[in-house]
């Protein structure tokens, strides 16, 4: 899920507004990275995966949802683009 629209043009750098949008969305990006780390650890554990590995994935997924909710509540004009 991304709420940032960045056009890719050779030699063009992001505007101040685009950088501000990235800064606003950063907590969600960090939460998604934590979820990805937890999922990778669970997959790598294979048959040795513990209950704690699964719990870590569920907690990280909950953090992503909660962070997205907070972000959406803070900026009601934001359109969510999948």
Tens-of-pLDDT digits for all 82 residues of the chain?
Answer: 566 666 655 568 888 888 988 899 999 999 999 999 999 999 999 999 999 999 999 999 999 999 999 998 885 565 555 4
Task: Quote the pTM value.
Answer: 0.70
Token pair listed for 67? 């962070």
pLDDT of residue 15: 87
Q: What residue ranges do the domains of the chain occupy?
A: 16-74
Phi, psi of 12 (to 5 degrees): -100, 130
Look at residues 36, 2, 35, 47 and name the one whose alpha carbon lies nearest to residue 21: 2
């Amino acid at each position: 899920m991304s709420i940032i629209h960045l056009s890719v043009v050779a030699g063009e750098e992001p505007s101040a507004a685009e950088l501000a949008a990235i800064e606003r969305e950063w907590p969600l990006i960090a939460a998604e990275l934590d979820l990805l780390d937890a999922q990778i650890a669970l997959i790598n554990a294979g048959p040795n995966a513990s209950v704690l590995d699964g719990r870590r994935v569920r907690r990280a997924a909950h953090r992503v949802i909660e962070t997205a909710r907070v972000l959406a509540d803070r900026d009601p004009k934001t359109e969510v683009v999948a």
